[in-house]
Amino acid sequence: MGYRGKVDEQNRARDLRAQAWTLQEIATELGVARSSVSLWGRDVMFDPRPRQRSPFAAPSSLHLAKLAEIEQMNQWGADRIGALSDEAFLAAGVALYAGEGAKTDGEVMFANTDATMVGFFCTWFRRFFVVDEKRLRVRVYLHEGLDLDTAQAHWSRVTGVPLSQFRIGYRADADPSIRQNKHRNGCVYVRYTCAMTHRKIMGLQRALLSSDALPG
């Protein structure tokens, strides 16, 4: 059984899509990627809501064509990937860690602002490694002015790690040049201190990136 996303989020996304919420509205509400929403709700029937435009705004055929192409490629991607086998899921997780995970020996650490990536990593990590849940630690990095309690509750749901195992959140200085709603839940760091587990991941990474692993 490969990674299928969180069932509750999938069901909620389908319910909202049936109520004619847009893909972006659902993605924002659930804190997930728009492409995931497109995949989860691709077969949901709904009556589109009438679009509200300024009477002074001319319709943009290029913009509509762009949106149509994005939807088409989302569907193409979903059809092309399908359901991941264990082998594909293992390789995908190793590749994700190669890009976003810590390489320093002794500690598994993954950081990101994207809930779908963090959820994918946590599901992958638990599936392929023996994890002592009590040793998982999470820390949220958030700008001043944003709600830390809400952000931590969000990341607790995404990671499956209880709030009691969260470290004190880091507050970055407010920066007026940064939009406050850009990353309202901040950046999360998931840590697991185990040298052997980290070395296994790095061994998988080196194997994945070696020339021997590439198709002929």
**What distance lies between CA 197 and its chain's CA centroid?**
22
Output the CA–CA distances (angstroms, integers) from residue 62 to 58, 66, 69, 151, in the order listed.
12, 6, 10, 37
Query: Length of the chain, please?
Result: 216
Max Cα-Cα span within the chain: 63
Q: What's the pLDDT at 174? A: 62
Helix ranges (DSSP H) in the chain: 7-18, 23-30, 34-40, 61-81, 86-100, 115-128, 148-159, 195-209
Q: What's the pLDDT at 3? A: 43
Instruction: Give the Cα separation of 9 and 40 in Å (integer).
Output: 9
Provide CB contacts within 8 A for 19, sequence distance 6+.
Answer: 46
Instruction: Give the Cα separation of 165 and 155 in Å (integer).
Output: 12
What is the SS3 assignment for 144?
coil
Q: Are 108 and 183 in contact (CB under 8 A)?
A: no
Question: Average pLDDT by consecutive 10-residue portion of the chain (216 residues)?
Answer: 58 84 86 85 74 58 84 92 93 96 94 94 97 97 88 95 94 60 83 97 95 78
Q: What's the pLDDT at 61? A: 77
Q: Return left, alpha or beta for 68; rule: phi > 0 is left, psi -120 to 50 is alpha, else beta.
A: alpha
Instruction: Give the count of beta carbons closer than 10 Å to the beta carbon of residue 61.
Output: 8
Q: What's the pLDDT at 52? A: 58
Instruction: Give the Cα separation of 135 and 142 in Å (integer).
Output: 23
Instruction: Give the Cα separation of 78 and 38 in Å (integer).
Output: 9
Q: What's the pLDDT at 156? A: 96
Instruction: Give the Cα separation of 67 and 141 in Å (integer).
Output: 33
So where are the chain's domains?
Answer: 7-81, 86-213
- Which CATH architecture group holds 86-213? 2-Layer Sandwich (3.30)
